[in-house]
Amino acid sequence: MDYSISDLGKILKQQRITIPLTLQELAAESGVSSSHLGRIERGERFPSARILRKIAKPLGFNEDELFTLAGFLSPQASGVSEETVSRYSNRQLDPYVARMLADEPVEIQRAVIGILSLLKSVARGISK
């Protein structure tokens, strides 16, 4: 979806508030610390695939839906409806990423998600 870090954080926070869950309740249900969740919501961190998996169910998302919103999966290949995606933003997935992943099975997309998460973490570590 080509969201910025803060866009995804705002979406997650809005969903948490809508449910309603406190940050502490989400932390207890997901096993992710409330301080880390807060940094994600404020746009200070981008969640890894592992974190997305942990918070998906408590926030009422299925994994594919959340991975699509985070820009890791294309809407077409993940089976996530365009309505769901457009509910959060009118932005489109980066065309190159969409072309590369759209025809791949979900298992391959998930493997790529893991690799991208690792690369983002390494890049953030280097740039600090």
CATH code for residues 5-127: 1.10.260.40
* Widest Cα–Cα separation across the chain: 39
| Torsion over CA: 117, 46, 81, 18 (sign) | positive
Q: Quick check: 58 and 26 in contact, CB under 8 A? A: yes
pTM of the model: 0.60
Using CA atoms, how far apart are residues 92 and 85, in angstroms rounded to an integer? 9
Domain boundaries, the chain: 5-127
Q: Quick check: 101 and 77 in contact, CB under 8 A? A: yes
Using CA atoms, how far apart are residues 29 and 27, in angstroms rounded to an integer? 6
Q: Quick check: 110 and 86 in contact, CB under 8 A? A: no
Tell me how far CA of residue 52 lies from CA of 13, 69, 91, 120, in angstroms: 13, 10, 20, 14
DSSP label at residue 110: H
DSSP label at residue 104: S
What is the residue-level pLDDT of the chain in tens, covering all 128 positions? 444 556 888 889 888 888 889 999 999 999 999 999 999 999 888 888 899 999 999 998 888 888 888 877 766 554 554 544 444 443 334 556 656 666 667 677 667 666 766 666 676 667 55
pLDDT at site 40 = 93
